Amino acid sequence: MTPSIFAPVSTPAFAIREVAFVVLGLTAVIFLLVAGVAVYALIRFRRRRGDDGREPPQVYGSRQIEQAWIVVPLIIVVVLFLVTVRYIYAIEGRPQPADALEVAIVGHQWWWEIRYPKLGIVTANELHVPVSDRPTFITLQSADVIHSFWIPQLAGKMDVIPNKTNRVWIEPKRPGTYVGQCAEYCGMQHAGMLLTVTVHSTDSFAQWVAAQLMPARDDVQAREGRQPLSSFACANCHTVRGTTANGVFGPDLTHVMSRSTIGAGVIPNTPETLRAWVDDPSSLKPGALMPAMKLSRNDLDKVTSYLLTLR
Ligand code: CUA
């Protein structure tokens, strides 16, 4: 599904559609006037049979006309500027309500780290929020280069800049899943830096939170797979809460199987793709910064079956 700014479901996105209509309306009028005059001139003054080929009289230096085509566009530009500024201030100036859900998002090459500091949840690439009885206020930071956070149906674009914290808020009015995408070229897998926002009813959000707060499954049969996870370098980059794996360079894997995709939306999360990903990430996402760990087939099977228990 291609997201459109003309199908908003969240408060700042409604306002952005309004501005878009104002700008489109004004520019449509200008287009029709200019194109209309051009077409009229083309038809009215076309070469006719019996034309003597002489140049028509040339007119220079009408002060009124020149003043008009300076002043009128200036007024139009100023009006568009003021309208836009008004909307920007209205959106960015909204104070954070006391009960707002707080989310901290960090852009990485090429995935999104998602933290809920007050809830103690860490996940990746799939943001979950409640429907609008509680707006969600998001802080945006980058771990490396400039990215841009954009979910067209929920809010405007916001750059994600190293050493700077930007803010954006959303207030979705309808449950559903909305897709977004990094909107600032950030390297080889810029196009493979997708993001989904799942908007839950209040109850279903509470269920999601409860599930994420559970400690990692400790499946006795899969325990064998935990060993290679910490003895190979996996644990240096990934966290599985409650185990010795506590790295922070890569996505938190405590509930990795609750996510529907691997590699920030690049492939669906199935046992087969998960195994292929652990084996060699860049075969599925060329340029991915996770190295191929060259696990033996046996270790690969163990690690995969362990990861599959992390629901
Ligand atoms: Cu991140 Cu483009």
Q: What is the pLDDT of residue 293?
A: 84
Asked if residue 277 lies in contact with residue 291, where contact means CB atoms within 8 angstroms, the answer is no
Cα of 149 from ligand 1 centre, angstroms = 8
Task: Determine if ligand 1 sits within 6 Å of the CB of residue 108.
Answer: no
Q: What is the pLDDT of residue 269?
A: 94
Burial of 238 (0-12, 13-18, 19+ CB in 10 A): buried
Q: What is the pLDDT of residue 52?
A: 82
- Other Cβ atoms closer than 10 A to 279: 17
Q: Which residues contact 274 (CB under 8 A, 6 or more apart)?
A: 262, 304, 307, 308
Q: Alpha carbon 225 to chain centroid distance?
A: 34
Task: Encode the chain (311 residues) as per-residue pLDDT tens digits.
Answer: 678 999 999 999 999 999 999 999 999 999 999 999 999 999 998 888 888 878 888 888 889 989 998 999 999 999 999 999 999 999 999 999 999 999 999 999 999 999 999 999 999 999 999 998 889 999 999 999 999 999 999 999 999 999 999 999 999 999 999 999 999 999 999 999 999 999 999 999 999 999 999 888 777 776 766 766 767 788 889 988 888 888 889 999 889 999 999 999 999 999 999 999 999 999 999 999 998 888 888 888 888 888 888 88
Task: Determine if ligand 1 sits within 6 Å of the CB of residue 147.
Answer: yes
Q: What is the pLDDT of residue 276?
A: 92
Q: Domains in the chain, ordered, with CATH?
A: 1-33+61-213 (2.60.40.420), 220-308 (2.60.40.420)
Q: What is the pLDDT of residue 228?
A: 64
- What ligand 1 atom has the least distance to the C-alpha of 110? 1
Block residue for tokens 């990903």: 277
Cα of 21 from ligand 1 centre, angstroms = 28
What residues form DSSP beta bridges with 147? 160
Task: Determine if ligand 1 sits within 6 Å of the CB of residue 182.
Answer: yes
Give the global pTM.
0.88
Cα of 179 from ligand 1 centre, angstroms = 15
**DSSP of the chain:** ----TTS--BHHHHHHHHHHHHHHHHHHHHHHHHHHHHHHHHHHT---TT---PPPPP----HHHHHHHHHHHHHHHHHHHHHHHHHHHHHHTPPPPTTPEEEEEEEETTEEEEEETTTTEEEESEEEEE-TTS-EEEEEEESSS-EEE--TTT---EEE-BT--EEEEE-BSS-EEEEEE--S--STTGGG-EEEEEEEPHHHHHHHHHHHHSPPP--GGGHHHHHHHHHSTHHHH-B-TTSS-B--SS---TTGGGSSEETTTTEE--HHHHHHHHH-HHHHSTT-SSPP----HHHHHHHHHHHHT--
Rounded CA-CA distance 182/180 in Å is 7
Ligand 1, atom 1, lies closest to the CA of 147
- Angle, vertex CA 10, rays to CA 255 and CA 18, nearest 5: 150
Q: Alpha carbon 149 to chain centroid distance?
A: 4
